[in-house]
């Protein structure tokens, strides 16, 4: 897969501290309870509610990642950059630029 602006994918690193914050914050949210043994609870199956607990976080994470991947620089920025880059003398189109 080719991206028009591959350097913008570095913005995905913004998600790493967000995930770390969520893990730290979520770990502190649970209440503590003192019991002599938890052996009877080891055999209980996990319910769908335990998995759906993180659903909103995952949806938000996917949405931010998709915004980072989909958004591109504005066309005004690209046009301003194109006016600064010098063209070859023999080019007639505006698509022919020098790269120094």
């980072």: which residue's tokens?
68
The domain locations on the chain are: 6-33+46-84
Q: Is the pTM of this model over 0.85?
A: no
| Binned average pLDDT, 10 residues per bin, the chain of 100 residues | 75 90 80 77 83 88 87 58 54 54
Q: How far apart are the first and last CA of the chain?
A: 27
How is residue 29 written in tokens? 């949210």
């Amino acid at each position: 897969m080719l991206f028009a602006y591959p350097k913008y994918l570095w913005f995905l690193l913004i998600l790493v501290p967000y995930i770390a914050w969520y893990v730290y914050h979520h770990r502190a949210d649970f209440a503590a309870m003192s019991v002599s043994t938890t052996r009877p609870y080891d055999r209980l199956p996990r319910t769908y509610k335990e998995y759906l607990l993180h659903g909103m976080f995952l949806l938000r994470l996917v949405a931010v990642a998709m915004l980072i991947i989909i958004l591109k620089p504005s066309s005004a920025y690209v046009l301003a950059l194109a006016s600064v880059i010098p063209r070859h003398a023999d080019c007639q189109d505006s698509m022919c630029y020098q790269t120094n």
